[in-house]
Amino acid sequence: MNSQEYIEVSMKIEPFSEENAEILMAELDEIPFESFTVEEPFLKGYIPRENYSAQMLKLELSGLDLNFDVDFNATLIPASNWNALWEEQFTPIVVDGKCTVKATFHKGLKRTRFNITIDPKMAFGTGHHQTTYMMCRALMKNEDSVKGRVVMDMGCGTAILAILAAKMGAAHTYGIDIDAVAAISAFDNARLNKVSRHVETYCGDASLLQMGKYDVLLANINRNILLEDIPTYSRSLKRNGLLIVSGFYTEDLPMISGVAAEAGLDFTGSDSMDNWCCAQYRKIG
């Protein structure tokens, strides 16, 4: 992966705010960016050179109904610069003093109860986003529901959540991502963390959930996909199974909970960070 050439697309947001950057990131899901960083006043997206089309991006931006302006320029980043770029941008995180997420190049860190090492490559999910942080927190608060159980990480990215579930004692954990790069990264990271015997990763969408039933299903995806797929999640859960979802704003919680209720899921609580929301549901009956 690090041998590829990438395009860095710097999208200038006026007026700039963290919220506007998050909105733009969510709206660009049709463009195959593999990662984003926020550096005021820019949202920077990274995409393989062969997948980049300035015309496509311009067309996508022109069709968005935004309350802010966006201008962009693109720069080629040689393959040899990728390792240095990620080492500069990826700092370790600690979730509630219990879970540390670090890269392979971080040395000498104090260990916590759960320690996850990932090679970030270009797959989404280094743990820095508020939604990933909250999903880790919610998972650790439900240890009794995880230990000895079957867990599915839907939209697994780098597999931080699947790996955490395995380290918490899940009997078996699955990860699914529609992005082949993410699915490969998830497999590699499971092996790096010595939990590959307990973690299986696949490339695909929610239709793959029919391969089994799960005690816990995790989905850190955007709002529209959640609204579409929550009924499928519910059918895939065992009786009294736990669903933890994030990737949407706090104002979207009633909409998410409404669809969940129609699918036979009982709302049990939520968390929020910087207007991002994480919610939990139990399957009824």
Three state DSSP letters for 176-203? EECCHHHHHHHHHHHHHCCCCCCEEEEE
Domain with CATH 3.40.50.150 in the chain: 129-283
Distance of CA 142 to the CA centre of its chain: 19
Q: Are 160 and 185 in contact (CB under 8 A)?
A: no
Prediction pTM value: 0.74
Distance of CA 120 to the CA centre of its chain: 12
Element (H, E) at 21: helix 18-27
92 contact partners, CB below 8 Å, separation of at least 6? 100, 101, 102, 103, 106, 109
Q: Are 190 and 159 in contact (CB under 8 A)?
A: yes
Domain with CATH 3.30.70 in the chain: 6-85
Q: For domain 129-283, which CATH number applies: 3.30.750.24, 3.60.15.10, 3.40.50.150, 3.40.50.300?
A: 3.40.50.150
Which residues in the chain show pLDDT less than 70?
Answer: 1-4, 79-90, 120-128
Q: For domain 6-85, which CATH number applies: 3.40.50, 1.10.3470, 1.10.20, 3.30.70?
A: 3.30.70
* Predicted pLDDT of residue 124: 47
| C-alpha triplet 177, 186, 99: angle, nearest 5° | 110
Residue with tokens 């899940």: 170
